[in-house]
């Protein structure tokens, strides 16, 4: 049997759709998850952890839909150490040519005593039973001792040995609460390599959270000590401070290849488009200074840096923007740009639109170019990402009039056009322009909702930049997300809100009970 840690290829296990999606504000609908899964396969990750099928029927359905699409990477689902969870994972992932069952149980004293109320031996027994059962269904089984980094080393080695004997093919070591530091994590991996007899027969994996800001550093320390699978998420989304960021860890391995002597299979030119896709879907945008995919990651402001860059890019640049899929030129389009230039730019930005979608986006581009002089990449991405909010009535926003006065309630009047061409106008007062206009929309459409979150992001630069708004609203106790964009941010909010209202009305007209466009609830875990 060859020693897996002597291989120089690192497997990238993406858990954006499981650990990432579990984080507050990051829930996705089924169709959004499918788009992310497709993008991850184009990024060429090795494994997609598509969800936790036992968490809710919605989770089960989305893992199954992703597996049935057979995008290419191994499709994995998470299970606790019980038969029902394991069967659910198997039923949901088996449609993919390559599938994996990932079972986990907590092993640290804190979890044993306060959460599981189980003795050490019971935990080993439960892990062994679960792995054996999973192996009967599937050849590819991963085991994770949750909170491994706070587990007594000798007990951790015992658990891992038992997991390997039971048939685990990948052993993942999670730093569940983001507690460890690189030197300590290196010692933990070295300890396991020394004390677990058959450790070289499995793939050793690492799974880090970012509570102390060291998820990437800790993952790289584990790689240095022999881990050959890294679990990570796009934009580092995940519980609390998030997970190890995929784009950062992949670019660290690539940029410092002479140090690590390792490689991943990731097509790094897809990093930026995938990051944008995930942030557009979740409405959670990385900070401007975020490594690799932040808007400032390749911006050079200081005069001395700019001078150096003009002499030779390598003076201040350790990676090329085009290597992560950022266009070098950020070419500006304007109202004289034709369909060809627009189509080429859309392609370069990584979108694959059919003729209908291209025409629709081009029309929106022309409307925008009439309002603002320069149309940047961010504006084009925004048009494409928000296409859903422009389509499929019954209601279209005709006009919005808002009045605000300091220390007084705002008033708003919205005029909507229905499918039959009938116009409806409603006015309302509210604490601010958003509250007033949303109230007017509720009266006009007859859809009552509670606004839970309003996220605003600037799609490009300058005073006339488009505002992209993502709203999360509750309708009949279910959560929905809508998006809208406009150079007027209140109008962008209204478009986002109207998108959800239109979806609700269409669903009601079809008499549908299940809301497939609701963002997943993990309440049943
Ligand atoms: O953080 C963690 O421990 C996990 C495990 C389920 C792998 O997400
Ligand atoms: Zn985790």
- 62: burial class by Cβ within 10 Å (0-12, 13-18, 19+)? buried
The answer to whether the CB of 250 falls within 8 A of the CB of 266 is: yes
Measured from the CA of 172, which atom of ligand 1 is nearest?
Answer: 7
Q: Is 146 in the pocket of ligand 1 (CB under 6 A)?
A: yes
Ligand in nearest proximity to the CA of 52: 1
Q: Which residues contact 485 (CB under 8 A, 6 or more apart)?
A: 382, 383, 386, 389, 459, 466, 467, 468, 469, 492, 495
The CB of 90 under 6 Å from ligand 1? The reply is: no
CA of 207 to the centre of ligand 2 (A): 7
Q: In the structure encoding, which two tokens stand for residue 124, read together?
A: 């080993």
Residue 33 CA to ligand 1 centre (angstroms): 20
- For residue 203, the CA-to-ligand 1 centroid distance in Å is 17
Greater model confidence, 337 or 147: 147
* Ligand 1 atom nearest to 177, measured from its CA: 1
DSSP 158: H
In whole angstroms, give the CA distance from residue 255 to residue 320: 10
User: Which tokens sit at 185?
Assistant: 């994590």
Checking if the pLDDT of 385 tops 80, the result is no
The residue count of the chain comes to 525
CB-facing half-sphere around the CA of 160: CA atoms within 13 A: 31
Instruction: Answer whether 170 contacts ligand 1 (Cβ < 6 A).
Output: no
Q: Is residue 463 exposed (0-12), middle (13-18) or buried (19+ Cβ within 10 Å)?
A: exposed
Distance 470 CA to ligand 1 centre (A): 29
According to the model, what pLDDT value does residue 389 have? 56
Residue located nearest, by CA, to atom 8 of ligand 1: 19
Cα-based torsion angle of the residue sequence 149, 154, 157, 162 in order, rounded to the nearest 10 degrees: -120
Q: How high is the pLDDT of residue 300?
A: 65
Residue nearest to atom 5 of ligand 1 (CA): 146
Q: How much of the chain, in percent, has pLDDT values that exceed 90?
A: 70
Cβ-defined contacts of 93-99 (< 8 Å, 24+): 93/50, 93/63, 93/64, 93/67, 93/138, 94/67, 94/138, 95/64, 95/67, 95/68, 95/70, 96/66, 96/67, 96/68, 96/70, 97/70, 98/73, 98/74, 98/140, 99/67, 99/74, 99/75, 99/138, 99/140
Can you list the pairs that 182-187 forms with residues at least 24 positions away whose Cβ atoms lie under 8 Å?
182/214, 182/217, 182/218, 182/220, 182/221, 183/221, 184/149, 185/149, 185/218, 185/221, 185/222, 185/225, 186/221, 186/222, 186/224, 186/225
Q: From ligand 2's centre to the CA of 95, what distance in Å?
A: 25
- Cβ atoms of 504 and 523 within 8 Å: the answer is no
**In this structure, which residue's CA is closest to atom 2 in ligand 1?**
176
- Which atom in ligand 1 lies closest to the alpha carbon of residue 231? 7
Cα of 15 vs centre of ligand 2, distance in Å, is 9
What is the atom index within ligand 1 of the atom nearest the CA of 18? 8
Ligand 1 binding pocket includes 107 (Cβ within 6 Å): no
| Distance from C-alpha of 165 to C-alpha of 171, rounded to nearest angstrom | 12
Over residues 388-412, mean pLDDT: 87
CA separation (Å) from 76 to 148, 223, 318? 21, 22, 34
| Residue tagged 């907590």 (tokens) | 106
What number does the ligand 1 atom closest to the CA of 104 have? 6
3-class secondary-structure state, position 297: coil
| 60 CB within 6 A, ligand 1 | no
Instruction: Give distance in angstroms: CA of 240 to centre of ligand 2.
Output: 10
Residues 157-163 have a mean pLDDT of 98
Q: Residue 258, exposed/middle/buried by CB under 10 A (0-12, 13-18, 19+)?
A: exposed
Query: Alpha-carbon distance 509 to 503, whole Å?
Result: 10
Lowest mean pLDDT among 148-157, 255-264, 381-390: 381-390
Tell me: the pLDDT tens digits for 470-502? 999 999 988 898 889 899 999 999 999 999 999
Pocket lining: 19 vs ligand 1, CB cutoff 6 Å: yes
3-state helix, strand, coil in the chain (%, to 5): 45, 20, 35
Instruction: Report the percentage of the chain scoring pLDDT > 70.
Output: 94
**pLDDT tens-digit map of 63-113:** 999 999 999 999 999 999 999 999 999 999 999 999 999 999 999 999 999
**30-50 pLDDT tens trace:** 999 999 999 999 999 999 999
Phi and psi at residue 97, in whole multiples of 5°? -55, -40
CB distance 104 to ligand 1 below 6 Å = yes
Residues 6+ apart with CB under 8 A from 489: 456, 467, 469
Question: CB of 469 within 8 A of CB of 463?
Answer: no
* CA 80 / ligand 2 centre spacing (Å): 13
The answer, yes or no, to whether any atom of ligand 1 lies below 6 A from the CB of 29, is no
Q: Which pLDDT value is given to residue 525?
A: 46
- Average pLDDT for the chain: 91
Task: State the Cα torsion 434-435-439-441 to the nearest 10°.
Answer: 10
pLDDT at position 1: 46
Q: What's the pLDDT at 523?
A: 45
Which pLDDT does position 331 carry in this prediction? 64
Tell me the CA–centroid distance for residue 239 and ligand 1, in Å: 10
CA angle 431, 433, 439 (to 5 degrees): 75
Asked whether 174 lines ligand 1 (CB < 6 A), one says yes
Q: What is the dihedral of CA 253, 256, 257, 261, to 10 degrees?
A: -80
pLDDT at 524: 42
Q: For 102-150, how does the pLDDT look when each residue is reduced to its tens digit (9 = 90+)?
A: 999 999 999 999 999 999 999 999 999 999 999 999 999 999 999 999 9
The mean-pLDDT minimum among 1-10, 105-114, 181-190, 278-287 falls in 1-10
pLDDT value at residue 306: 65
Nearby residues of 388 by Cβ (< 8 Å), 6 or more positions away: 483, 499
**C-beta of 151 in contact with ligand 1 (< 6 A):** no
Q: Is the pLDDT of residue 521 over 70?
A: no
Element (H, E) at 58: helix 57-69
| Residue 303: both structure tokens together | 């005069």
CA distances from 208 to 44, 140, 226, 241, 244 (A): 21, 22, 15, 11, 6
């Amino acid at each position: 049997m060859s020693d897996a840690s002597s291989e120089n290829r690192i497997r990238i296990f993406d858990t954006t759709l499981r650990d990432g999606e579990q984080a507050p504000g990051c829930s996705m609908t089924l169709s959004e998850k499918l788009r992310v899964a497709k993008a991850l396969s184009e990024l060429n990750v090795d494994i997609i952890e598509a969800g936790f099928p036992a968490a809710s029927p919605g989770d089960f359905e989305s893992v199954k839909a992703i597996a049935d699409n057979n995008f290419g990477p191994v499709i994995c689902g998470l299970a606790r150490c019980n038969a029902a969870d394991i069967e659910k994972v198997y039923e949901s992932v088996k449609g993919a040519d390559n599938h994996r069952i990932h079972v986990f149980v907590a092993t640290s004293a804190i979890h044993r005593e306060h959460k599981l109320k189980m003795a050490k031996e019971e935990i080993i027994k439960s892990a062994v039973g679960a792995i054996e059962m999973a192996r009967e269904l599937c050849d590819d089984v991963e085991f994770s001792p949750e909170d491994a980094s706070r587990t007594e080393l000798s007990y951790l080695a015992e658990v891992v040995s038992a997991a390997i004997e039971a048939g685990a093919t990948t052993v993942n070591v999670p730093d569940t609460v983001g507690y460890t530091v690189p030197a300590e994590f290196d010692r933990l991996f070295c300890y396991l390599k020394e004390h677990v007899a058959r450790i070289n027969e499995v793939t050793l994996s690492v799974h880090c959270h970012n509570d102390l800001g060291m998820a990437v550093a800790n993952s790289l320390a584990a790689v240095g000590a022999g881990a050959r699978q890294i679990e990570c998420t796009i934009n580092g989304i995940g519980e609390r401070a998030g997970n190890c960021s995929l784009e950062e860890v992949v670019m660290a391995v690539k940029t410092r290849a002479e140090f690590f002597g390792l490689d991943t299979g990731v097509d790094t030119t897809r990093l930026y488009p995938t990051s944008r896709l995930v942030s557009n879907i979740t409405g959670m945008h990385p900070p401007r200074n975020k490594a690799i995919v932040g808007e400032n990651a390749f911006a050079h402001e200081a005069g001395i840096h700019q001078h150096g860059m003009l002499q030779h890019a390598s003076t201040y640049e350790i990676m090329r923007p085009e290597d992560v899929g950022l266009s070098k030129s950020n070419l500006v389009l304007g109202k004289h740009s034709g369909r060809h230039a627009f189509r080429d730019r859309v392609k370069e930005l990584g979108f694959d639109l059919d003729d209908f979608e291209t025409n629709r986006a081009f029309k929106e581009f022309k409307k925008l170019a009439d309002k603002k002089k320069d149309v940047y990449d961010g504006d084009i991405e925004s048009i494409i990402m928000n296409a859903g909010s422009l389509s499929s009535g019954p209601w279209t926003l005709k006009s919005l009039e808002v009045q605000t006065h300091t220390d007084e309630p705002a008033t708003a009047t919205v005029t909507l056009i229905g499918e039959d061409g009938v116009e409806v106008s409603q006015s309302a007062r509210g604490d601010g322009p958003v509250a007033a206009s949303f109230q007017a929309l509720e009266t006009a459409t007859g859809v009552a909702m509670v606004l839970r979150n309003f996220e605003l992001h600037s799609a490009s630069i300058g005073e006339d930049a488009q505002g992209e708004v993502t709203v999360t609203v509750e309708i009949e106790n279910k959560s929905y997300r809508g998006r809208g964009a406009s150079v007027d941010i209140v109008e962008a909010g209204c478009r986002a809100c109207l998108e959800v209202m239109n979806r609700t009305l269409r669903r009601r007209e079809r008499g549908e009970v299940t809301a497939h466009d609701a963002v997943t609830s993990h309440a049943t875990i």
